[in-house]
Amino acid sequence: MVIKIENRQMFFETNFSVRESDNQEKYIEGYFIRYNEPTKLYDGMYEEIKPEALIKSLENNDIRCLFNHDSAIVLGRTTNNTLTLKSDANGLFGTVKINTNDKQANDIYARIQRGDIDACSFGFIPLEEDVEQMDDGSVKFVVKNIDLKEVSPVTFPAYPTTMVQARMDDKERFRKRSLEIKKQKLKERLTNG
């Protein structure tokens, strides 16, 4: 079963690091996405990103690094190489070159350096995902292809209520669809039986 939803975000805690080069350039580094790790959206609902989900986005997109998903606070972007993204076995690792002439960027750098900001998120449009029913009744959305728009260090790694509600609606649609499929299979067995 494939479900398509527009403009989603996924949040998790990470270990950002900061560094300064010999020529005073500042960088923020860390994993913006972790692969194959279910992230809890809500009780009984999880989401997981597969490594193949990012292939096309990394090849084709001009991905931005924002702060708190705010398009007014751009920390870097891939087309001008102020944001570099590399997919490895663990996830999507990013390096952002801080504009030292940008007060907001320097403030964000300082907050990450001090440990005040230690979470990240990414904004994407899901293009393909499967929904799996777990043995305990939980539902897991397995995202297999996305259109990645941006990555963001964030203050709070929490899903907004509206986003959780949208995923709850997806879970309910999946539950109803699964029930219909079971009913149809039972009817076929009784008819052919």
Q: What mean pLDDT is predicted for residues 110-125?
A: 89
The pLDDT of residue 141 is 86
Range 1-4, long-range pairs (CB < 8 A, 24+ positions): 1/130, 1/131, 1/174, 1/177, 2/128, 2/129, 2/130, 3/126, 3/129, 3/131, 3/141, 3/170, 3/173, 3/174, 4/126, 4/127
Alpha-carbon gap, residue 89 to 111, rounded angstroms: 28
pLDDT for 67-84, tens place per residue?
A: 999 999 999 999 999 999
| Host H or E run for residue 86 | strand 83-87
The pLDDT of residue 133 is 83
Q: What mean pLDDT is predicted for residues 141-155?
A: 92
Alpha-carbon gap, residue 11 to 51, rounded angstroms: 17
Higher pLDDT, 165 or 188: 188
Alpha-carbon gap, residue 118 to 18, rounded angstroms: 12
Alpha-carbon gap, residue 59 to 79, rounded angstroms: 11
Percent of the chain past pLDDT 90, that is, above it, reads 46
Does the pLDDT at position 87 exceed 70? yes
Please, which pLDDT band fits residue 153 given cuts at 50, 70 and 90?
very high
Please, which pLDDT band fits residue 20 given cuts at 50, 70 and 90?
confident
Asked which of 3-7, 31-35, 41-45, 56-60 is least confident by mean pLDDT, the reply is 3-7
Does the predicted TM-score (pTM) go above 0.95? no
Dihedrals phi, psi of 128, to nearest 5 degrees: -155, 130
Q: What mean pLDDT is predicted for residues 35-57?
A: 88
Asked which of 15-19, 121-125, 178-182, 187-191 is least confident by mean pLDDT, the reply is 178-182
Does the pLDDT at position 164 exceed 60? no
Q: What would the 3-class secondary structure string for 2-63 be?
A: ECCCCCEEEEEECCCEEEECCCCCEEEEEEEEECCCCEEEECCEEEEECHHHHHHHHHHCCC
Please, which pLDDT band fits residue 171 given cuts at 50, 70 and 90?
low
* Residue 100: DSSP 8-state: T
SS3 state at 1: coil
Spell out the domain ranges in the chain.
8-192
Residue 81's Cβ-count burial label (10 Å; 0-12, 13-18, 19+) is exposed
Higher pLDDT, 148 or 137: 148
